[in-house]
Amino acid sequence: MNWLQLAEEVIAGKILSNEEALAILHSEDDELLKVMDGAFAIRKHYYGKKVKLNMIMNAKSGYCPEDCGYCSQSSKSTAPIEKYPFITKEEILAGAKRAFDNKIGTYCIVASGRGPTRKDVNVVSEAVTEIKEKYGLKVCACLGLLKEEQAQQLKEAGVDRYNHNLNTSERHHSYITTSHTYEDRVNTVEIAKKHGISPCSGAIIGMKETKEDVVNIARALHQLDADSIPVNFLNAIDGTKLEGTKELNPRYCLKVLALFRYMNPTKEIRISGGREINLGSLQPLGLYAANSIFVGDYLTTEGQEANSDYRMLEDLGFEIELSEKQEAAFC
């Protein structure tokens, strides 16, 4: 296949067929650079060489009643993780200052659990109002299944984006979790959209899904019109249902990122959890398809040193996208 020609067709408005999408995942490793060249043509057309940086604040750890097979915070997990209740507004604000100082454009407030309590939403809302005033950061909340009135309150407080990942295809969903449905996840994304919050939803790759499942989740996110798509690669944690699972290699991970770019050409594609382990020394190549990464640690696993990420971006000749207040402070 002529990958660059396919990329040009995508830029012109073409939507990939299932056969074309699967061809990316089945492509020979010798074709990898050509596949990535096409992905970069799309990425460059819409985003140039800019990279969005994101940072997670784990606002509540553990104590989750859900049974998600990939998650160390699940009720079924025996992983030895730090557990604590919802943090204070002051702690959230301190994290926002660290994000601002480290040129992070999107600050992600994440909490374990099925969904937030009224108190949780109040704490986040109060913190976000101050964050917007002081730092002008884009704020993404990830608090679980969302109700209409909660979405409205978060919107009024200034939350820009709400994350709720579909995680995997509808077919494969019941293998990953049974305590909520695929439709529950779609519904939360739709509620966020309804209330004017930018929808963020993505996938976890490497959970014993088929390549067809990967294509289906990429297409589902296209149909859902998610503005930001985190692509996670499973970091199988001991004590979870998926412990010991190791299906990925760096070359396949790059093909997955390329697929998500060809399938969702105008969207923010974010390399997320598990990139350090699964992409390894090929991490820089991922940014020829993606235009966004997390910097720092994840929820219960460590990321690589932030300085390594900044050096990687500098070596690539890419530019960090800053908020207006960061532009004034650093430029």
142 labelled binding-site residue: no
Is 161 annotated to bind a ligand? Reply is no
Amino acid sitting at position 70: Y
Residue type for 94, please?
Answer: A
**Cα–Cα distance, 300 to 81 (Å, whole number):** 7
Tokens of 282: 């090929």
Distances (CA, A) of 186 to 57, 151, 204, 257, 272: 24, 14, 16, 22, 20
140 is catalytic: yes
The single residue of 64, 219, 253, 275 carrying the catalytic annotation is 64
Residue 84 DSSP class: B
**Residue 80 has which token pair?**
């030895």
Give the DSSP letter of residue 176: H
Of 43, 142, 200, 253, the active-site residue reads: 200
Q: Choosing from 43, 185, 219, 270, which is the catalytic residue?
A: 270
How far is it, in rounded angstroms, from Cα 37 to Cα 35?
5
* 59, amino acid identity: A
Which spans in 228-305 are helix H?
250-263, 275-279, 283-286
68 assigned to active site: yes
Residue 253 annotated as part of some ligand binding site: no
Task: Judge whether 140 is annotated as a binding position.
Answer: yes
Cβ atoms of 318 and 293 closer than 8 Å: no
User: What is the phi/psi pair of residue 54, to 5°?
Assistant: -130, 150
Supply 41's token pair: 């043509």
**Is 331 marked as a binding-site residue?**
no
Instruction: Give yes or no: 71 in active site.
Output: yes
Instruction: Please tell me which residue in 71, 161, 185, 253 is annotated as part of the active site.
Output: 71
Name the region of 94 (left: φ>0; alpha: ψ -120 to 50; beta: rest).
alpha
Annotated catalytic residue within 140, 142, 185, 261: 140
Establish whether 108 is an annotated binding residue.
yes
Binding residues for [4Fe-4S] cluster: 64, 68, 71
Binding residues: 64, 68, 71, 108, 140, 200, 270
Q: Give catalytic residue positions.
A: 64, 68, 71, 108, 140, 200, 270
Binding residues for [2Fe-2S] cluster: 108, 140, 200, 270
